[in-house]
Amino acid sequence: MLVYLNGSLVPLKDARVSVLDHGFLYGDGIYETLRVYDGVVFMLREHLGRLWRSAELVGLDIPLDAQALEGAVYETLQGNGLRDAWLRITISRGPGPLGLDPALCSGATVFIYAEAFKPYPRQFYSQGIRAVLARTRRNLREAQDPRIKSLSFLNNILAKMEAVRAGAEEAFMLNHAGCLTEGTVSNLFFARDGVLFTPSVQCGLLDGITRQVVLSLARRLDVPVREDCFGAQELYAAREVFITSSTKEVMPVRQVDGTHYGVGELTKLLMAEFRKEVSAYVAEAKARGPSVWGYE
Ligand code: PMP
């Protein structure tokens, strides 16, 4: 397996990053996780847009432009002969002496890793996953804004550990004011009486690319949508719950703590519509030719 590291493809076993990299020492860096369907990176431009927004929010200088990074992404896929994959772009502050000041670092480390996509268990889609409401609260927007897709992931890891301890797959976090935010690696949606609810970005969460796709699908289908602050009681009172992420797409939730949900009609509709959206995106990218598609 080959990975992209600072300008070249190298075998994974030879890929080395300094122990003084501030990504390792302080979690100082950003990343994106993307899904590749039949050789097409889904929503690549949107992911790169978010990567640059994260970089701006932490004052990190990405040492190549978007076109070059796009090229590096396809180079990594091509080098590994991958068509159905997930891919992670990691950019850390880079190596430098101890100390928090980013100016100590000589330049960012750019690392791209891709792997064949392993589907989640089928019953996650047919029946749904289990989730808990975590005691761990989501980082304050005013402390470490969850809009930054940061390498510093302890907040989410602590919540994930609660899920694992409870035998669940995901944990949802409230913010400091008791409003629902998101899962550890996913956005949260729920539905009741034909209305789709999702916590507003104002509550302090990552504005997921998949979340945006689902919101636009719902609007196109004339499904009423409410983006707002909601408490735990509203989630427990919902009839349907699902999560979204680039790798999970639309995945139903069958249980949150002691409350059970079926895989409802709206969830099924959005799962199907999301698949159609992916197919249309892939077909369109291919129709535009190999320069955009990446490789044959
Ligand atoms: N929230 C968090 C905290 C995440 O890590 C992810 C996964 N990247 C998401 C939401 C979903 O975002 P996306 O749809 O862009 O993958």
Assess if residue 31 is contained within a domain. yes
Q: Mapping DSSP to helix (H, G, I), strand (E, B) and coil, where does residue 28 land?
A: coil
Q: pLDDT tens for residues 138-184? A: 999 999 999 999 999 999 999 999 999 999 999 999 999 999 999 99
Domain boundary among 61, 88, 116: 116
Write down the mean pLDDT value for the chain: 97
Assess if residue 287 is contained within a domain. no
Strands (DSSP E) found in 12-157: 29-37, 40-41, 85-92, 109-116, 129-133
Confidence of residue 296 (pLDDT cuts 50, 70, 90): very low
CB distance 198 to ligand 1 below 6 Å = no
Domain co-membership, 172 together with 65: no
Assess if residue 291 is contained within a domain. no
CB distance 170 to ligand 1 below 6 Å = no
Q: Determine which residue's CA is closest to atom 9 belonging to ligand 1.
A: 186
Count the alpha carbons within 13 Å of 174 in the hemisphere toward its beta carbon. 14
CB distance 208 to ligand 1 below 6 Å = yes
Query: For residue 273, what pLDDT is reported?
Result: 98
**Whole-number Å distance between alpha carbons of 109 and 123:** 38
pTM of the model: 0.97
**Whole-number Å distance between alpha carbons of 3 and 16:** 11
Domain co-membership, 100 together with 24: yes
Q: Residue 282 corresponds to which amino acid?
A: V
Domain co-membership, 57 together with 156: no
- Mutation test residue for ligand 1: of 51, 87, 187, the one with most atoms within 8 Å of CB: 187
Domain co-membership, 144 together with 112: no
Domain co-membership, 100 together with 212: no
Assess if residue 73 is contained within a domain. yes
Q: Mapping DSSP to helix (H, G, I), strand (E, B) and coil, where does residue 182 land?
A: strand
Domain co-membership, 143 together with 68: no
Domain co-membership, 144 together with 241: yes
Domain boundary among 60, 84, 116: 116
Domain boundary among 56, 88, 116: 116
**Which residues are 102's β-sheet partners?**
none
Domain co-membership, 257 together with 158: yes
Q: Determine which residue's CA is closest to atom 4 belonging to ligand 1.
A: 185
Q: Which residue is catalytic, options 13, 149, 160, 276?
A: 149
**Active-site annotation holds for 149:** yes
CB distance 139 to ligand 1 below 6 Å = no
Atom of ligand 1 nearest to the CA of 184: 3
Q: pLDDT tens for residues 29-81? A: 999 999 999 999 999 999 999 999 999 999 999 999 999 999 999 999 999 99
CB distance 186 to ligand 1 below 6 Å = yes
In 10 A of CB 26, how many CB atoms? 16
Confidence of residue 1 (pLDDT cuts 50, 70, 90): very high
Q: pLDDT tens for residues 203-257? A: 999 999 999 999 999 999 999 999 999 999 999 999 999 999 999 999 999 999 9
Assess if residue 292 is contained within a domain. no
Cα of 121 to ligand 1 centre, how many Å? 19
Domain co-membership, 78 together with 61: yes
CA 43 centroid distance within chain: 12
CB distance 76 to ligand 1 below 6 Å = no
Domain co-membership, 75 together with 22: yes
Q: Determine which residue's CA is closest to atom 12 belonging to ligand 1.
A: 208
Total number of domains constituting the chain: 2
Cα of 204 to ligand 1 centre, how many Å? 13
Question: Between the CA of residue 286 and those of 74, 87, 246, 280, 295, what are the distances in Å?
Answer: 14, 19, 20, 10, 10
Query: For residue 279, what pLDDT is reported?
Result: 98
Q: Is the pLDDT of residue 293 over 80?
A: no
Domain that holds residue 201: 123-281
Tell which residue, 81, 107, 71, 77, has the closest CA to residue 92: 107
Kindly report the CATH number assigned to the domain that includes residue 80: 3.30.470.10
Domain co-membership, 96 together with 176: no
Query: For residue 289, what pLDDT is reported?
Result: 75
Kindly report the CATH number assigned to the domain that includes residue 132: 3.20.10.10
Domain co-membership, 55 together with 105: yes
Query: For residue 290, what pLDDT is reported?
Result: 67
